[in-house]
Amino acid sequence: MNTQQSIQLVNFATGGGGLVVALMGFCFNLFFLHRDRWSRNFFTAFFSLVIAYIGSSLVTSISLEILGRGFSGLTRVSLFGESLFSSMLMPLLTCFLLHCAGDVWQKQPITKIVLSLWCAYFLALILTQFTQVIYIITPENTYSRGPLYPMLLIVPALLMLLNLAALWRRRHRLSRRQVTAFATCLLIPLICMVIQMFSYGLLMIVIGTSVGAAVMFVFTLGDHVERYVLQQQEIARQRSSIMVLQMRPHFISNTMMSIYYLIRQDPEKAERVTLDFTNYLRRNFTALAREGLIPFSEELEHTRAYLAVEQVRFEGDLFVELDAPYTDFCLPPLTLQPIVENAVRHGLDPELDPLRVTIRTRRTDRGGVITVEDTGPGYSPADDNAPHIALANIRERLRMMCGGTLEIAPRETGGTRVTVTIPRDGVGRFPKRESEAPPPT
């Protein structure tokens, strides 16, 4: 294989690869709907022009290198299309750059300059078909450059430089990904165009445009992925908010009635319950407003306030044991309190023995573990659609917000055990040494 054949092979491989990339970008933009109208229209037009440009370049190469004599008309048409379609990319990039920067492209001076230069280029391209000063196509279908061939490349180079200047001025209004994509899409073809002015053989501009198309394809893919992730995060946040709202306490009215009767029977106890109830409500409302993770100590105090109220309401029927030596980690708000509330609501039964609720925390290799046990009637999987819906909501919030887990299982001696695991990686902060456990209540 001689040098000329090697160059032809590189040109065909480059054009074919660029065409595949442009087709992939076109299809990707066409079938993914999570895009704004401006971006969709731009990338549709951009990849269409790249496909037309590279396709024209391949036709030119085939006509010159393979078909040969008798196809000079085809070569002339494909060369015209090649020059036209490649030049149209620059005004298109100008408009999209201004749009991404928040400018109204119709009102910007650079738009008028770019369009004026392109119109001048288009007229020169028309005149080229009737002269031999830019390039020459003989009746035998051979191609050679004319004395003014660099003029065909100077205007596109000026358009690229103008776009680079516009990009530099507006770089602070664009994301890093956008700046990188625009800069790469402009600089690489510009460098290739300069090389093309002084060399002959390799289709350097096609190579530069192919790389630019690949960059814009990656930009399209990255932009879509980022938008999709943000949408999923917003959906998760909204779902978490809804789940939190579903876990509002159901005992407010009963507590108010209990305080009402205690005011006459035991004013001192009524004051204490009112203080605990106020503390509970304050922490509950604070938790509803929180979007991220909170220290376990805050959640524990919230749970203490809730249990203090319930122990007054069900005096003699509810006993609590607290064994929580590990508290230095974080978890989603309203995790422990609804679990304990669920145990109290569905575990108290006047016909059964007093309910005992035990709350424990411990540190393991996987992370922090919270265990809530009760001596109630027990857990049945058939109850998932009724009393344990709150636990299902908590499990989903743990999964979405910190990768935690929640497991429900029956106790060997009766009752239910709920185990929450908070992973260490990137979520919990655990102490280097054990802290003192608070006295059991």
Q: Are 416 and 378 in contact (CB under 8 A)?
A: yes
- Give the pLDDT score at 316: 87
Which residues make beta-bridge pairs with 357? 320, 374
pTM for this predicted structure: 0.53
- Give the pLDDT score at 436: 38
Report percent pLDDT > 90 for the chain.
14
Q: What are phi and psi of 363, to 5 degrees?
A: -105, 130
The candidate with the shortest Cα–Cα distance to 55, out of 10, 16, 8, 93, is 16
**Which are the contacts of 421, defined by CB distance < 8 A and separation ≥ 6?**
364, 366, 367, 368, 369, 370, 404, 405, 406, 407
**Alpha-carbon span 424 to 304, nearest angstrom:** 25
Which residue would you say has higher pLDDT here, 79 or 25? 79
Which residue would you say has higher pLDDT here, 157 or 371? 371
SS (H, E, C) the chain: CCHHHHHHHHHHHHHHHHHHHHHHHHHHHHHCCCCCHHHHHHHHHHHHHHHHHHHHHHHHHHHHHHHCCCCHHHHHHHHHHHHHHHHHHHHHHHHHHHHHCCCCHHHCHHHHHHHHHHHHHHHHHHHHCCCCCCEEECCCCCEEECCCCCHHHHHHHHHHHHHHHHHHHCHHHCCHHHHHHHHHHHHHHHHHHHHHHCCCCCCHHHHHHHHHHHHHHHHHHHHHHHHHHHHHHHHHHHHHHHHHHHCCCCCHHHHHHHHHHHHHHCHHHHHHHHHHHHHHHHHHHHHHHCCCCEEHHHHHHHHHHHHHHHHHHCCCCEEEEEECCCCCCEECCCCHHHHHHHHHHHHCCCCCCCEEEEEEEEECCCEEEEEEEECCCCCCHHHHHCCCHHHHHHHHHHHHHHCCEEEEEECCCCCEEEEEEEECCCCCCCCCCCCCCCCCC
Under the banding of pLDDT at 50, 70 and 90, the label for residue 384 is very low
Is the pLDDT confidence value at 270 over 50? Answer: yes
Which residue would you say has higher pLDDT here, 24 or 5? 24
Is the pLDDT confidence value at 430 over 50? Answer: no
CATH classification (class only), 247-423: alpha beta
User: What's the sign of the alpha-carbon dihedral 18, 19, 20, 24?
Assistant: positive
| Mean pLDDT confidence for 399-428 | 83
* Average pLDDT in the chain: 80
Q: How far is CA 327 from CA 204, 289, 419, in A?
A: 64, 22, 16
pLDDT tens digits along 81-120: 888 888 898 899 999 889 888 888 888 899 999 999 999 8
Residue with tokens 């022009």: 49
Domain boundaries, the chain: 3-237, 247-423
Cα–chain-centroid distance for residue 216? 18
pLDDT tens digits along 111-146: 999 999 999 889 888 888 888 888 888 888 888 878
- Give the pLDDT score at 209: 78
- Give the pLDDT score at 32: 67
Most confident segment among 151-160, 313-322, 377-386: 313-322
Of 126-130, 286-290, 355-359, 367-371, the least confident = 286-290
- Give the pLDDT score at 359: 95
How many other C-beta atoms lie within 10 A of the C-beta of residue 310?
26
- Give the pLDDT score at 426: 44
Pick the CATH number of 3-237 from 3.30.70.20, 1.10.3720.10, 3.60.15.10, 1.20.1070.10: 1.20.1070.10
The token duo for 280 is 């509970």
pLDDT tens digits along 13-48: 777 777 887 888 788 777 765 566 777 888 888 889
Of 134-143, 282-291, 376-385, the least confident = 376-385
Of 35-44, 228-237, 347-356, the least confident = 228-237
- Give the pLDDT score at 34: 58
Which residue would you say has higher pLDDT here, 284 or 172? 172
- Give the pLDDT score at 439: 39
Of 124-133, 245-254, 299-308, 333-342, the least confident = 245-254
- Give the pLDDT score at 438: 42
Cα–chain-centroid distance for residue 244? 24
- Give the pLDDT score at 178: 83
Which residues make beta-bridge pairs with 370? 361, 420
User: What's the sign of the alpha-carbon dihedral 84, 90, 95, 99?
Assistant: positive
Is the pLDDT confidence value at 267 over 80? Answer: yes
Residue with tokens 């709150």: 390
The token duo for 430 is 């655990």
Is the pLDDT confidence value at 311 over 80? Answer: yes
How many other C-beta atoms lie within 10 A of the C-beta of residue 366?
12
**Alpha-carbon span 189 to 203, nearest angstrom:** 11
